[in-house]
């Protein structure tokens, strides 16, 4: 299954078969990504890295296109470009809100349990009286694990010209491919892909999660006449909605680009503080972030803990290659398995709060 959402594609390997050249090669190679990153060694022979019992092992392969230094240059460009476009995702990684699964390419869904709460502990002097014996109720749920990817290519003449001259390999296309992959992941985190269901699960983002707390926006923050005091009231109301759902912080506040300059306005006439500074003085709010993937007039308050949100990583961002046309063209695919998981308890309580009209 291969679908395109925006500029980057989303693909599954399912039913024991691959739907494209990369997935077919992965299936044939035992799902080893290293076999799709071969390099030309100093001795002129092609090599690749495979993992045996978790340990890297260099093996000879049939063919390779790039030298090891060229792969390093390409990978550096891809990683740098991807990090530029990640705001909300970077917040999760910086707080270690990441769940890494082994052999993510071999799984199409993450199976997890939704667990109920226990009753309260009891208070006695001798602890002889038995307390209520609880057993949490669990419900199985599923999260799809699609591959987010974007393709580009070099022809053999471009590679040869780079090696024969003083001009390094042009990584502009690789950078652009990495950027749209990163944008897709960021978009999934904030907007979700609720129209994309697979294996009994759905990928939700902050904005479309069905259990997110809603707070009504009476007037847009950039509307004429909207005051700093009113904006602060909106944020306090969002904080209270989170507390009412039993989520007590710490929080990060995300705003769309249209509100960035609004936050730089004075909080009130003749004030020595901006609206942004006053928001950060609210207890528990640690950061205010501007996100260009956040739709206009939507503000999000997120408790940054693993019971609210985490990034499920089945495959770190990587680049693979395959050839066609008798070796005249080498295709590349920037790919990753990174899926946001927004969570709520069995009572429908969620640590995500949305301010919207």
User: Residue 6: what pLDDT?
Assistant: 47
Domain 2-109+142-204+309-342 is found in CATH 3.30.2400.20: yes
Q: Which residues contact 277 (CB under 8 A, 6 or more apart)?
A: 267
Burial of residue 102 (number of CB atoms within 10 Å: 0-12, 13-18, 19+): exposed
- List the alpha helices (DSSP H) in 209-350: 228-244, 260-263, 275-280
Superfamily of domain 213-308+347-356: hypothetical protein PF0899 domain (3.30.2320.10)
User: Residue 14: what pLDDT?
Assistant: 53
Output the tens digit of pLDDT for each of the chain's 357 residues.
455 444 665 555 555 555 555 555 655 555 677 778 887 888 888 888 887 767 788 888 887 878 888 888 888 888 888 887 789 999 999 999 999 998 788 888 998 877 766 667 777 766 666 666 776 677 788 999 999 999 888 887 777 776 666 566 778 888 999 999 999 999 999 998 887 788 889 999 999 999 999 999 999 999 999 999 999 999 999 999 999 999 999 999 999 999 999 999 998 887 789 999 999 999 999 999 999 989 999 999 999 999 999 999 999 998 988 887 777 888 889 999 999 999 998 888 999 999 998
All structural domains of the chain with their residue ranges: 2-109+142-204+309-342, 213-308+347-356
The gap from C-alpha 255 to its chain's centroid, in whole angstroms, comes to: 18
Instruction: Give CA–CA dist 66/333, Å, rounded.
Output: 14
User: Residue 68: what pLDDT?
Assistant: 83
Residue 160 phi, psi dihedral angles, 5° rounding: -65, -40
């Amino acid at each position: 299954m291969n679908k395109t959402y925006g500029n980057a594609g989303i693909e599954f390997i399912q039913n024991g078969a691959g739907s494209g050249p990369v997935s077919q090669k992965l299936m044939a190679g035992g799902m080893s990504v290293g076999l799709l990153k071969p390099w030309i060694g100093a001795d002129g022979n092609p090599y690749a890295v495979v993992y045996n019992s978790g340990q890297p092992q260099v093996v000879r392969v049939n063919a390779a296109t790039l030298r090891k230094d060229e792969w390093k240059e390409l990978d550096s460009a891809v990683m740098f470009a991807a990090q530029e476009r990640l705001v909300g995702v970077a917040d999760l990684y910086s707080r270690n809100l990441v769940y890494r699964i082994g052999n993510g390419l071999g799984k199409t869904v993450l199976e997890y349990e939704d667990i109920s709460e226990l009753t309260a502990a009891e208070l006695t002097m001798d602890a002889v009286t038995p307390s209520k014996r609880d057993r949490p109720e669990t419900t199985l749920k599923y999260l799809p694990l699609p591959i987010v990817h974007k393709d580009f290519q070099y022809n053999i003449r471009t590679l040869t010209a780079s090696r024969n001259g003083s001009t390094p390999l042009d990584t502009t296309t690789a950078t652009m491919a990495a950027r749209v992959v990163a944008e897709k992941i960021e978009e999934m985190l904030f907007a979700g892909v609720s129209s994309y269901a697979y294996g009994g699960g759905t990928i939700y983002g902050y904005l479309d999660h069905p259990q997110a707390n809603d707070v009504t926006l009476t007037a847009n923050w950039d509307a004429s006449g909207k005051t700093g005091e009113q904006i602060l009231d909106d944020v306090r109301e969002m904080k209270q909605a989170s507390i009412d759902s039993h989520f007590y912080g710490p929080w990060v506040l995300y705003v769309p680009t249209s509100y960035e300059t609004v936050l730089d306005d004075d909080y009130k006439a003749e004030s020595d503080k901006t609206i942004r500074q006053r928001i950060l003085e609210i207890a528990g709010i640690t950061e205010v972030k501007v996100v260009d993937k956040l739709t206009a007039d939507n503000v999000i308050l997120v408790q940054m803990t693993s019971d609210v949100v985490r990034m499920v990583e089945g495959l770190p961002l990587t680049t693979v290659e395959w050839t066609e046309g008798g070796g005249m063209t080498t295709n590349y695919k920037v790919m990753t398995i990174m899926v946001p998981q927004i969570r709520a308890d069995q009572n429908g309580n969620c640590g995500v709060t949305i301010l919207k009209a």
